[in-house]
Amino acid sequence: MLVLPDRDAAAEVAETLGERFALDEEPRLVRDALAGEDDAEDAQWLVVVEDPDGRLSAAELDDLAAEWDGWREEP
């Protein structure tokens, strides 16, 4: 799972993942409101990537997320 600061960044990362890697499923975008915040601006966006075969390297995902000021988290 990649955590991005906004929806546009998450959409770009999801598209880039599809271009760089042969994924079986498209990554899902999920809005993650920060605890205690009601404002739509106070949300992170998650890019959920299914990789049951372990083809994606953690380092590549870290680098990709960092390009958009994001990071990778283990589920």
* 3-state SS class at 14: helix
pLDDT at 41: 58
Sheet of strand 2-4: strand arrangement: 28-33, 43-48, 2-4, 71-72
The neighbour count for residue 67, using CB atoms within 10 Å, is 11
Chain centroid to Cα 74, Å, comes to: 11
pLDDT at 30: 94
Question: Mean pLDDT per 10-residue run, the chain (75 residues)?
Answer: 95 92 88 64 85 88 96 88
Whether the full predicted model's pTM is greater than 0.85, yes or no, is: no
pLDDT at 39: 54
pLDDT at 32: 86
pLDDT at 35: 55
Domain count, the chain: 1
Domain that holds residue 13: 2-72
The neighbour count for residue 20, using CB atoms within 10 Å, is 11
pLDDT at 25: 86
